[in-house]
Amino acid sequence: MYLSRVEIDSNNRAKTRDLTHLGAYHNWVEQSFPAEIAAHERLRHLWRIDQLGGRRYLLVLSEEKPDVEKLATYGVQGTIMTKPYDHLLDQLHEGQLLQFRLTANPTHTITVPGRKQGRVVPHITVEQQRQWLIDRAERAGFSLIQNVAAENPDGAPTWSFDIVGREWPTLHRRAGRGVRLSRVTFEGLLRINDVAAFKETLTQGLGREKAYGMGLMTVIPEA
């Protein structure tokens, strides 16, 4: 697998005028794999948008290398980086402590009277969104770290992760109106409990709306 990054040319409005909704970003990512399009074999590509140091980046995880020219369509010239991802996956082990970043779409299903299937709705509050990740950690192969906060008189534990971004980007446009998705970015520390399950989380994503920039978790070893 490969992890690729390109800086989005946000200062060039003429170049990026089409990037007004998540569907446009999805199309950018898909068009960056022309060989798959030609073969009518569309593989899953996890991606997200990161904001670092006042700049915006498109991050893509894929089984094959993206086409450099296609990936540069809305990017700043000379900023594309593609690195093998398998080496990182091979180095993971049980008990390992990692720093993580995850952009996801926290949702839950509510019962609708008269319908067999429930309705999927977003979690709204920070606490609901944090609990969404806590509830999924074990099955996803990791545990979130709890610390005993010395400043808390009751010694209540605190989590070593937080929400660093909450947005409602437009999914696509219909008749002039935009359908929006909840996009939440988490950062913090985790510990691997189940290597196989954790590798699946990293390569297959976590949560819903993976085609639209959700679910990609990246990690680096804790120093």
The pTM is what?
0.88
Reply yes or no on whether the pLDDT at 80 is more than 80: yes
Give me the chain's average pLDDT, please. Answer: 90
Q: What is the pLDDT of residue 179?
A: 83
Q: Is the dihedral of CA 144, 134, 215, 163 positive or negative?
A: negative
CA 54 to chain centre: 19
122 vs 134: CA distance, rounded Å: 16
Amino acid letter, residue 75: G
For residue range 135-150, list pLDDT tens digits in order.
Answer: 999 999 999 998 766 5
Reply yes or no on whether the pLDDT at 176 is more than 60: no
Reply yes or no on whether the pLDDT at 159 is more than 70: yes
11 vs 133: CA distance, rounded Å: 34
